[in-house]
Chain A
Amino acid sequence: MTLKLPHPGSLVAFAILGLVAGGFIALATFDGGTPTLLSIGPYLWRVLAFSVIQATLSTVLSLALGIGLALALARRSFPGRDIVLAILGSTMVMPTIVAVFAVFAVYGRSGWLAEGLALLGWNGSFSIFGYPGILIAHVFLNGPFVARITLDGLNQVPAEHWRLATAFGFTPFQIFRHLDWPVLRAETPGVAGLIFLMCFKSFAIVLALGGGPSRSILEVAIFEALKIDLDFGRVAWLALIQLAICLSMTALLHWAFTRPPVGHTIRSLVHRPDAKTKALKLLDAVVLALSALFIAPLTFSILTGFRSMLDVIDADLLQAFVTSLAIATAAAILACLLALALASAARRRRIVLRSPRIAAFYDLLPDALLAVPPFALTAGLFLLIQRLGDPSTAGLILLPLINGLAAVPFAYRYVAPHLLTAEERYGRVAASLGITGWSKLTIMDWPVLKRPLAAGFALAMALSFGDFGIIALFGGTELVTLPYLLYERLGAYRLDEAASIGLVIVLFAVFLAHASGRLSHAGD
Chain B
Amino acid sequence: MLRRLLLTLVSLGLATSLAQAQSKPTLTVYTYSSFAGKYGPGKPVKERFEATCGCELNWVTAEDAGSLLGRLRLEGENTKADAVVGLDMNLVAEARALNLFAPHGVDERDLTLPIKWNDNTFIPFDWGYYAFVYDANKLANPPKSLKELVDNPNGPKVVLQDPRTSAPGLGLLLWMQKVYGDKAGEAWGKLKPRIVTFTKGWSEAYGLFLKGEADMVMSYTTSPAYHIVAEKKDNYKAAAFTEGHYLHVELAAMTRTTKQPDLAKRFMAFVLSEPFQSAIPETNWMYPAKNPPSGTPDALKGMIEPSQALLFTPEEVQQNRRTFTDAWLNATAR
B213 at the interface (CB under 8 A from A): yes
Report the Cα distance A474→B211, complex, angstroms.
30
**Contact, CB under 8 Å: A208 / B208:** yes
Number of interface residues of B (CB under 8 A): 67
Nearest Cβ on chain B to A100's Cβ, whole angstroms: 7
Nearest Cβ on chain B to A389's Cβ, whole angstroms: 10
Given A207-B197, A477-B58, A110:B213 Cβ within 8 A: yes
**Contact, CB under 8 Å: A224 / B74:** no
**Contact, CB under 8 Å: B62 / A212:** no
**Contact, CB under 8 Å: B165 / A473:** no
A43 at the interface (CB under 8 A from B): yes
Nearest Cβ on chain A to B10's Cβ, whole angstroms: 10
Please, which residue of chain B has its CB at the minimum distance from the CB of A389? Answer: B78
Q: Which of A169-177, A364-372, A446-454, A488-496 contacts B (4 or more CB under 8 A)?
A: A488-496
A487 at the interface (CB under 8 A from B): yes
Of A203, A230, A326, A488, the contact of B73 (CB 8 Å cutoff): A230
Please, which residue of chain B has its CB at the minimum distance from the CB of A492? Answer: B39
CB proximity to A under 8 Å, residues B164-192 = 164-165, 192
CB proximity to B under 8 Å, residues A472-524 = 472-478, 484-485, 487-495, 498
Nearest Cβ on chain B to A67's Cβ, whole angstroms: 31
Please, which residue of chain A has its CB at the minimum distance from the CB of B97? Answer: A230
A391 at the interface (CB under 8 A from B): yes
Please, which residue of chain B has its CB at the minimum distance from the CB of A375? Answer: B70
Q: Which of A84-92, A349-357, A379-387 contacts B (4 or more CB under 8 A)?
A: A379-387
Q: Which of B29-37, B111-119, B259-267, B271-279 contacts A (4 or more CB under 8 A)?
A: B29-37
A46 at the interface (CB under 8 A from B): yes
**Contact, CB under 8 Å: B34 / A383:** no
Given A228-B66, A326-B9, A383:B207 Cβ within 8 A: no
- How many inter-chain residue pairs (CB < 8 Å) link A and B? 177
**Contact, CB under 8 Å: A386 / B75:** yes
Of B12, B197, B203, B333, the contact of A209 (CB 8 Å cutoff): B197
Report the Cα distance A259→B282, complex, angstroms.
61
Report the Cα distance A489→B207, complex, angstroms.
12
Give the chain B neighbours of A62 by CB distance below 8 A.
Answer: none
**Contact, CB under 8 Å: A386 / B38:** no
Report the Cα distance A211→B204, complex, angstroms.
13
Q: Which of A72-80, A213-221, A340-348, A436-444 contacts B (4 or more CB under 8 A)?
A: A213-221
**Contact, CB under 8 Å: B67 / A227:** yes
Nearest Cβ on chain B to A348's Cβ, whole angstroms: 29
List A residues at the B interface (Cβ < 8 Å).
Answer: 43, 46, 97, 100-101, 104-105, 108-110, 127, 129, 203-204, 207-214, 216, 220, 223-224, 226-228, 230, 314, 316, 322-323, 325-326, 329-330, 379, 382-383, 386, 391-392, 471-478, 484-485, 487-495, 498
Beyond A109-B212, A227-B67, A493-B227, 15 extra complex contacts between A and B, CB < 8 Å: A108-B208, A207-B198, A207-B204, A386-B76, A392-B80, A472-B67, A473-B62, A473-B63, A473-B71, A476-B60, A477-B58, A478-B60, A489-B37, A490-B203, A492-B34
